[in-house]
Structure 1
Amino acid sequence: MDLSIINQIRSAFENLPDYRKPGNNLKYAVEDAALSAFAVFFTQSPSFLDYQQRMQKLHNRNNAQSIFGVHQIPSTSQIGNLLDPIAPETLFPVLAEMGDRLYTQGYLEPFISIGDTLLVALDGTDSFSSEKISCPCCTQQTLKNGPTLYRHTLVTPVIVAPGQSRVLPLPPEFVRVQDGVDKQDCELAAAKRWLTTWGAHYAPRGITVLGDDLYCHQPFCEAVRAQHMDFLLVCKPDSHALLYEWVTDFERTGEVQTIEKSRWNGKQRMTERYRYLNQVPLRNSDDALMVNWCEVTILNAKQQVVYRNAWASSHTLDEHNVVEIVAAGRARWKIENENNNVLKNHGYHFEHNFAHGKQHLSNFLATLNLLAFLAHTSLEWLDEAYHAVQTAAPSRRTFFENLRTLLQFIPFDHWQHLMQFMLYGENLLPRKT
């Protein structure tokens, strides 16, 4: 792996707390347990450590050591015991630092959007659910047929942008039982905590928060503005009746502005109709927050509606920016397709119960999985060899299949050795004679 990335991860893992009592079996270091688990997620291979132990016996060397820096490979149960007491928040700084590096080196400039801000999409997703297995960090949901469902849910903030296939995950916030709070935690409360924790860190860069209709309510909007950020949130008629009454009234007086654009989608002529109105109340109260509303309706050649959505925003709308703002709002889906869907269905197995533990293990492993995803994303920018090999592969799935196979059977001296081998295999480097 790019040395700066793996060194950054190793440095973070070296500082993980060790909660074992003096005199206990201290054969394995906490750092090795964390690096071993991370290697499983990075290679997307649940059997990676088994193969490396076999390789050690056959060749007296292994890739867990040479590439990831693992001194001794613990067993699965030992990894769980060592990591279970460690809160996932101990990993959040390294997630932030990896993203900060990409920002300071200019890789996120193509992501700058409306009002010179970065778009941070928020969404909740599950990393675990079971009717039988639980821990103190689980939230509980009573199902209609009677049983209790135990869940691990987290809010996954992601930097997105229209026209960008990549997304950049930021430190998450877990939905879980909060000390001294009787009310069960929820996605919206977790999102507010994320703003409080990370607002000062990210706000100076210019941030517009994206979210679905769940977030489009005054307390959350005020929390965003308190952190000196902007918002662009889906705004549905059934949950914002008063706002839409205002829109209807102003439409009668001709104050709702409308813009129409036509585009060819390769098959037919589409019509895009944009409507917008500034300064309407978000709720029915004397202290209602005034927001700016916009809507897009897309019609096909037969003038049939194929898409319609609307947003409330802190950005002032006009004829020059409403199209860009709508495009930014529509980029919110990338958190589902390019982040959550990839984590769950494209090799990371995010909802798989790798191990649950009695304290923090499930959330800690979920955070390691996010870290692996972020490492892959960072390597696409920072490691030319990695980018070339992955691009040359027929698919992302094929690339990781090749990576797993090579690491299972061939001991490599270091990450660059592995990348060079794969470059040769893709005929991207001439072989030495």
Structure 2
Amino acid sequence: MKACKRLLVRLRQAFPKLRMMMVADGLYPNGPLMALCRKLRLDFMIVLPRECLHSVWEEVEGLRKLEKDQTRTYRWGNREQAFWWVNQIEYEFQESPRSWHRLKIHVAGCTERWEEKGETKEAHWAWVSARPLTRQNVVERCNRAARHRWDIEENILVEKHHGYQYEHAFSLDWTAMRNWHVMMHLGHLLNVLVLHTEVVMRKVRELGIRGTVRFLKDNWVNGWIHREWLLGALAKPTRLRWAI
């Protein structure tokens, strides 16, 4: 939590006018952090577990009974989503023994249902929002902002455990580490783009991502690609077709 607060301050100092949103998991919905985001002019969508912010959940349950029209259904892929939201919740928190603060926050929730192997599955989600929710923005903020955190975490997981060695300290020089960080992300981006080209995608469907990477590595290491064929391919006009 302390590291998160330091990072947010540094981000705002580095980008004083940039519009930014913090998306975070259920460890982070607390008063001091949300107040800091407001102070730094940072938007946020933070996962709200049932066991967190009990006073907020009490307000949510009470106001939902009064504001029954604040709902929206949406089809997202193979999932049926039912959204609800409650705005202008006053949350009081104690930052120190003699210091109490009041913060206005907003809460959105979603119930999802989908079919999987002949069974109906169901999941429930809720988030704390820095901005009021409406029928026009609830899908955008929940699906394309709050849940985008999963895509970010998935990329980090790949870089940490699937060949990019992101956890390893290759240098103690900060400039060198920053340069390596940027180059590693660029390499990851190029690999993802290659795996989604039309020609390689057929191998991905056949062998999977890791199998395709091993296949490409074996081709380069063992010299199975003939130099004449490669030079001939390079002489032709380049055309990349994506299979997304």
Q: Same fold (TM over 0.5)?
A: yes
* Corresponding residue for residue 87 of structure 2: 278
Determine the C-alpha separation between the residues in 2 that align with 1:309 and 1:426: 54
Determine the C-alpha separation between the residues in 2 that align with 1:422 and 1:279: 68
What SS does the corresponding residue of 2:73 show, helix, strand or coil?
strand
* Structure with bigger RCO (C-alpha 8 Å, 6+ apart): 1
Report if aligned partners of 1:230, 1:314 keep a CA contact under 8 Å in 2. yes
Q: Which amino acid aligns with 2:147?
A: R
Report if aligned partners of 1:276, 1:317 keep a CA contact under 8 Å in 2. yes
Superposed, 1:110-149 pairs within 5 Å as none
Q: Which amino acid aligns with 1:293?
A: V
1:275 positional shift = 0.7
* Corresponding residue for residue 293 of structure 1: 107
What SS does the corresponding residue of 1:317 show, helix, strand or coil?
coil
What SS does the corresponding residue of 1:293 show, helix, strand or coil?
strand
**More strand, by proportion:** 2
Q: Which amino acid aligns with 2:102?
A: A
Please tell me the root mean square deviation across aligned C-alpha atoms, in Å.
3.9
Superposed, 1:66-77 pairs within 5 Å as none
Determine the C-alpha separation between the residues in 2 that align with 1:212 and 1:308: 14
Residue 70 of structure 2, aligned match among 257, 276, 295: 257
Matched, 1:202 2:8: no
Determine the C-alpha separation between the residues in 1 that align with 2:228 and 2:2: 46
Deviation string, structure 1 residues 333-389 (Cα, Å, up to 9, x no partner): 11221x2211123211334x577x9xx47x888656533322225657xxxxx9569
What SS does the corresponding residue of 1:316 show, helix, strand or coil?
coil
Gaps spanning 5+ residues in structure 2: where? Answer: 95-99, 238-244
* Corresponding residue for residue 372 of structure 1: 183
* Corresponding residue for residue 241 of structure 2: none
Gaps spanning 5+ residues in structure 1: where? Answer: 1-187, 381-385, 411-420
Between the two proteins, the alignment pairs up a number of residues equal to 218
Determine the C-alpha separation between the residues in 1 that align with 2:229 and 2:4: 42
| TM-score, structure 1 as length reference | 0.43
Matched, 1:343 2:156: no
What SS does the corresponding residue of 2:132 show, helix, strand or coil?
coil
* Corresponding residue for residue 332 of structure 1: 149
Residue 50 of structure 2, aligned match among 233, 237, 261: 237
Determine the C-alpha separation between the residues in 1 that align with 2:51 and 2:232: 54
Superposed, 1:13-412 pairs within 5 Å as 188-254=1-67, 257-262=70-75, 265=78, 270-284=79-93, 287-300=101-114, 306-327=122-143, 328-337=145-154, 339-351=155-167, 360=172, 370-377=181-188, 391=197, 392-393=199-200, 394-395=203-204, 397=210, 398=212, 402=216, 406=220
1:215 positional shift = 1.7
Aligned-pair identity (%):
22
Report if aligned partners of 1:255, 1:277 keep a CA contact under 8 Å in 2. no
Determine the C-alpha separation between the residues in 1 that align with 2:107 and 2:80: 20
Could you say if the C-alpha distance between residues 370 and 427 of structure 1 is closer, same or farther in structure 2, counting changes exceeding 3 Å?
same
What SS does the corresponding residue of 2:72 show, helix, strand or coil?
strand
